[in-house]
Amino acid sequence: MPQADNPLRRLSACGQSVWYDDIHRSLLTSGELARLIAEDDLRGLTSNPTIFDKAITSTHEYDTEIQRQLRAAPEQSSRELFYTLAVADIREAADLLRPVYHATDGVDGLVSLEVSPDLADDTEATVREARALHARLGRANVLIKVPATRAGLPAIAELIADGIGVNVTLLFAVERYEAVVDAYLSGLERRLESGRSVAGINSVASFFVSRLDTALDPLLAACRPEWQGCLAIANAKAAYRRFKEFFESPRFAALSAAGARPQRLLWASTSTKNPAYPELLYVESLIGPHTVNTLPPATYEAFRVHGKVRSTLETEVETALAKLTGLAELGIDLNAVTDRLEEEGVAAFARSFANLLADLEAKAAELGASV
């Protein structure tokens, strides 16, 4: 496909960056990631425990390295072994994306690694592990993923004040997003007040999109079936309106004058869960400036082949907002739904992490070692 005809490349003209929601060793070593960067203008990469579990324990790509690490340090735990493997992958991905980081003046070319999901309700432990991971990675173009839980909010502010880039994950509610932006701005303000530079600090706020429709569609089936498949997009558009208000405010103007960057919105969970919906519904409906969409491989390839590119994020916004406010009239408590989605998301990531560690321990045993 000629580069000019590649829909993924044309997204940048609308101000949106495409990141890849996947990582595994052969993606890095085979030249595949380098090819995606060169051909598709891929600008970043995200990971999570489920992705790493599949990569490490469902293939033989890591077997030799696991054996080598266990020979070197047979007493290490499965958690320690996981982070040894993950840090190596994230560092290599960051190195491959470093030219993008420099070409975009540090806006893109970023790679994300998550703090242990079982720390989601522990502010101090989250900060401690995030600092340790950041130091261990030793790359300017990495972000540490921190969940947008109540305990995560002060951790975000603390890490931003440290100058550590943060990918705020598991966002579902606009109200919680407002608190996330406040934490980001508070961290920048604390840093500036202490005489340190705020230039070049990166952060994204990751909204999980499709899961909201999955939760709301059954509630709408009897009373507003025509709204099914619409509310997640409406919620994202409401968040984007708040994004513009925050980052066009006098509060941010003072920080921007000192070199601070906006905290971009990132659309996550953008694969379509309901097969009745268009495959690219959550990609094509959320295209706009100062945003990121992180795509899993199947959705990435589908958009590359037949994605339609036009600015859609600021279209029909009033209609979208009316649907959100109309939920209360239908007896649907949106806050209760998003609170439940956050709880389920935190629990699901914690289960994935526990499964990863158990699977890694089993694999080590298969390879004739123990952790």
CATH superfamily of 3-366: Aldolase class I (3.20.20.70)
The residues, any chain, with a CB within 8 Å of residue 169's CB and separated by 6 or more, are: 48, 114, 145, 146, 147, 148, 206, 268
Catalytically annotated residue among 54, 145, 237, 273: 145
CA-to-CA separations, 18 to 197, 221, 291, 294, in angstroms, rounded = 28, 33, 9, 6
Q: For 133-184, how does the pLDDT look when each residue is reduced to its tens digit (9 = 90+)?
A: 999 999 999 999 999 999 999 999 999 999 999 999 999 999 999 999 999 9
Q: For 322-364, how does the pLDDT look when each residue is reduced to its tens digit (9 = 90+)?
A: 999 999 999 999 999 999 999 999 999 999 999 999 999 988 8
The pTM of this model reads 0.95
Contact 197, 274 (CB under 8 A): no
Residue 64: helix, strand or coil by DSSP?
helix
Residue 197: helix, strand or coil by DSSP?
coil
Q: For 95-122, how does the pLDDT look when each residue is reduced to its tens digit (9 = 90+)?
A: 999 999 999 999 999 999 999 999 999 9
Backbone angles phi, psi at 300, to 5 degrees: -60, -50
pLDDT score at 235: 98
pLDDT score at 141: 98
For residue 17, what are the β-bridge partners?
A: 292
Q: Is the predicted pLDDT of residue 370 greater than 60, yes or no? A: no
Annotated catalytic, 273? Answer: no
CA distance 356 to 50: 8
Other residues' Cβ atoms within 10 Å of the Cβ of residue 330? 12
Q: For 189-223, how does the pLDDT look when each residue is reduced to its tens digit (9 = 90+)?
A: 999 999 999 999 999 999 999 999 999 999 999 99
Q: For 16-58, how does the pLDDT look when each residue is reduced to its tens digit (9 = 90+)?
A: 999 999 999 999 999 999 999 999 999 999 999 889 888 888 8
Q: Is the predicted pLDDT of residue 293 greater than 90, yes or no? A: yes
pLDDT score at 74: 85
CA-to-CA separations, 91 to 53, 151, 309, in angstroms, rounded = 18, 28, 32
Q: For 303-323, how does the pLDDT look when each residue is reduced to its tens digit (9 = 90+)?
A: 999 999 999 999 999 999 999
CA distance 268 to 240: 14
Q: Is the predicted pLDDT of residue 1 greater than 80, yes or no? A: no
pLDDT score at 289: 97
